[in-house]
Amino acid sequence: MRAAKYWQADNWADFLPNTLGISQPPVDLYAIARNQRVKRLGFRFIIPRGLLLPVEGGFEVYLRDQNRKDFDILGREPKDLLSPRQRFSLAHEIAHTLFYKFSDSVPAPDDTVSNGSQLENICNRTAMHILVPTCLLKREVDDYEKIDATIVRWLAARFRTSLTVIIERLSIVHGSNPSERCILLLRRVDDDAEIRAIYLGIGLLRTLQRPNKYTRLSQWLRDFPRGVIERREEADCTITRMGRPIRFVKTELGSSGDFLMQVDVLPTPTASRVASHAKLFQSAR
């Protein structure tokens, strides 16, 4: 039951573009909210980032904000009204509506997922699918070789969502590819950095171990130069593993302490000659 409900929610979210006629990012969260019988959206100074309130005939959703305000959701979602964090919270609360039944006038929880922590995880994942549907992401990135730190930032702006959401979705939609590259979102912690999100081409695993989410960069690469982490500026460096050069390019993300790290295994001279000879052989045939 748990697995079935988990994927059922994801599949529902992935079909939303076809269901609602959404042809390009960003998705219209107002249209999706109306589809799920959300009648009111408002800002409130509340402790949780979002709150779903069952009411007669549907739901009300409230998002955390210092300024109290209610919004008319009968039209299109206005551009830049909600922050990426608030858009995720709204998508998360919309995902919760999938776990209610409408047998009475006021929706009631259907209890198909009784574990609260598990339900939150499902709704987090479904929120990512709502914000970045598979079909739209594939349309924007049709070739995994294009995926680098620059396109990750472009996609976050295009879908009006966070870098975390984009990286997580890329890891699902384009994760099983042979590229020798990974993109990490990191957050500075003391004189180290914690891995917050990972996109990884499986070709990288021939040279480096898979990094684990929420572990420190120094745990993954003990010989990584700490000075690169500490400096609040763009930087790149190269280390060698298994006789292969690995390049790390750091992109700062402002004053938050977060930064992107692109990791590429560079071709060795021998590998380049082999690839070149292979191309010549194929053309000769």
Question: What is the structure's pLDDT at 276?
Answer: 46
Question: What is the structure's pLDDT at 6?
Answer: 65
| Tens-digit pLDDT string for the chain (285 aa) | 345 666 788 899 999 999 999 999 999 999 999 999 999 999 999 999 999 999 999 999 999 999 999 999 999 999 989 999 999 999 999 999 999 998 779 999 988 888 889 999 999 999 999 999 999 999 999 999 999 999 999 999 999 999 999 999 999 999 889 999 999 999 999 889 999 999 999 999 999 999 999 999 999 999 888 889 988 999 999 999 989 999 999 999 988 899 999 999 999 865 544 344 444 434 444
Cα-based distances in Å from 215 to 48, 172, 219: 26, 20, 7
Question: What is the structure's pLDDT at 7?
Answer: 77
For the chain, the structural domain boundaries read: 2-131, 146-271
Question: What is the structure's pLDDT at 5?
Answer: 62
Question: What is the structure's pLDDT at 3?
Answer: 55
d(CA 99, CA 50): 16
Question: What is the structure's pLDDT at 116?
Answer: 86
What's the CATH number for 146-271? 3.30.450
Question: Do residues 238 and 247 lie in contact, with contact meaning Cβ atoms separated by under 8 Å?
Answer: yes
d(CA 50, CA 41): 10
pTM over 0.85: yes
Question: Do residues 71 and 61 lie in contact, with contact meaning Cβ atoms separated by under 8 Å?
Answer: no
